[in-house]
Structures are given as structure tokens and as C-alpha cells.
A and B are shown apart, each in its own frame.
Chain A
Amino acid sequence: KQEVTQIPAALSVPEGENLVLNCSFTDSAIYNLQWFRQDPGKGLTSLLLIQSSQREQTSGRLNASLDKSSGRSTLYIAASQPGDSATYLCAVKPDRQLTFGSGTQLTVLP
């Protein structure tokens, strides 16, 4: 059974810092990995999708990497801003549906 773990569970940083969020999964047989952002009381916004054959994806200040063999992904956020404060969720697709981690709650202090 696929399990997804995200570390740390919560992170607080001053504005302007670069930061890394970590995601690990137990079964490397995945089709893709997707990073989402969830604001309090809101839905999920897709940030980046990495196919199993890819090593990384970039969008603006965000960069996600995937090392399938070791079961790890990282989300790098450059020059963090208060507007980046949210919960970041990692999800892998081993089969027909996504399996989610519990998320990292990020607070960027002005």
C-alpha cells in the first residue's frame, strides 16, 4: 500500500527566504506526482505535475524535483512571500487515484 509522508508538518520562515518542502513515498511505481496548494477553507490548486519519466518541473518561483528510485520529491520555493502562506500537499498516482500526504503548513512572516 502506497504511503506518502511530508516533512516538516509545519514551517515558519521570514519573507524572502528560499525554502524546501519534502515529500517521500513508499512505492516507486507511480505514474506521476503532483504538488498542490490549499488555503484555509478553500479547495486545492495544482502547482506542478511531474511525470514519472521526468526529473523536475518549474513554474515561476517554484521548482519541483522527483527521484522515483529513492521515493522522494522536493518543492523548492524561491524568495518566499507572505502570499505563499498555505498548506502544501504532495500526491502520487500509483494507480487510478491520487494518494496524498498530510501536508506542510507554511507561514511566511512579513
Chain B
Amino acid sequence: NAGVMQNPRHLVRRRGQEARLRCSPMKGHSHVYWYRQLPEEGLKFMVYLQKENIIDESGMPKERFSAEFPKEGPSILRIQQVVRGDSAAYFCASSPPGVGVGYTFGSGTRLTVV
């Protein structure tokens, strides 16, 4: 039973390019969460998705960032026109339905903007 799969593990982008980060949740998990960890900072919530629905995007920057979780395929976090300040580790977590359930995290994608 594979865990939460994120790819790529490392991503280098030049300023102004687009970054696409992928997350496949654990089997049986229908809820996906994206978190960002800036250097020397804690994990900050970005967005919570279920299949074909964005449930809570209160942590997403208003511009350049978007997320989706289509009916088929992985969840995608998309960052357009990246800037140096976007350099961070982006983690995806998944959970089954239910309020008391725990989260399983992936290994993260480390984005470096040069």
C-alpha cells in the first residue's frame, strides 16, 4: 500500500516560469491538503481539496497559485510566474473522510527558483 506520492522530489525553475507539483493520495483517501514550508519556518496550510472540489483555499496566495484535484489523476499545485520567494518545500497530505482522522504526508517537493 503505497503512501502519499509526490513528484518531482526536486524542481528547479527560473523566475517567471511555471511550476507544477503533483500529489497522488493514499489508496482510499479522498481528501488532499497542500502545505508549504519556507526555509527556517513552520508548515503553513495552503489548500484543502476533495475530488473536483476546492473545500478551503484560505491559505493560498491570491495570485499565481492554483490547485486542483480532478476526478481522475493526481492533485496538482500550480505556481505561475515563479519568484525567488516561492522557493520552499511543498508537502501534500491525504486523509480518509472524517473529522477525527489523521493525516499521511508525502516526502515533499523542494522547489528552487533561480
Interface residues in A52-71 (C-beta closer than 8 Å to B): 52
Nearest 6 CB-CB pairings of A with B: A43-B107, A49-B102, A44-B105, A100-B43, A102-B42, A97-B45
Partner among A42, A43, A45, A97 whose Cβ is within 8 Å of the Cβ of B56: A97
Hey, which chain B residues are within 8 Å of A96, CB to CB?
48, 55-56
Which of A46, A100, A102 meets B102, CB within 8 Å?
A46
A103 with B42: CB separation less than 8 A: yes
22 contacts between A and B (CB under 8 A): A31-B99, A34-B103, A43-B91, A43-B108, A44-B93, A45-B105, A46-B102, A46-B104, A46-B105, A52-B100, A91-B103, A96-B55, A96-B56, A97-B45, A97-B48, A97-B56, A98-B93, A98-B103, A100-B35, A100-B43, A100-B44, A102-B42
Chain B residues in contact with chain A, CB under 8 A? 6, 33, 35, 41-45, 48, 55-56, 59, 91, 93, 99-108, 110
A16 → chain B closest CB, angstroms: 30
Distance to closest chain B CB from A27 (angstroms):
15
CB distance from B39 to the nearest CB of A (A): 12
- A99, B102: Cβ atoms closer than 8 Å: no
Q: Does A23 interact with chain B (Cβ within 8 Å)? A: no
- Check if A51 sits within 8 Å of B100, measured CB to CB: yes
User: A45 — which chain B residues lie within 8 A by C-beta?
Assistant: 105
Q: How many A residues have CB within 8 A of the partner chain?
A: 24
A42 and B42 form a contact (CB under 8 A): no
Say which residue of B59, B105, B110 sits within 8 Å of A36 (CB atoms). Answer: B105
Distance A90 CA – B105 CA, assembled complex (angstroms): 14
Is A89 located at the chain interface by the 8 A CB criterion?
A: yes
Residues of B within 8 A of A49 (CB): 102
Interfacial chain B residues near A36, Cβ < 8 Å? 105
User: Which residue of chain B has its CB nearest to the CB of A46?
Assistant: B102
Measured CB to CB, the closest approach of chain B to A57, in angstroms, equals 11
Question: Chain A contacts of B100 at CB under 8 A?
Answer: 31-32, 51-52
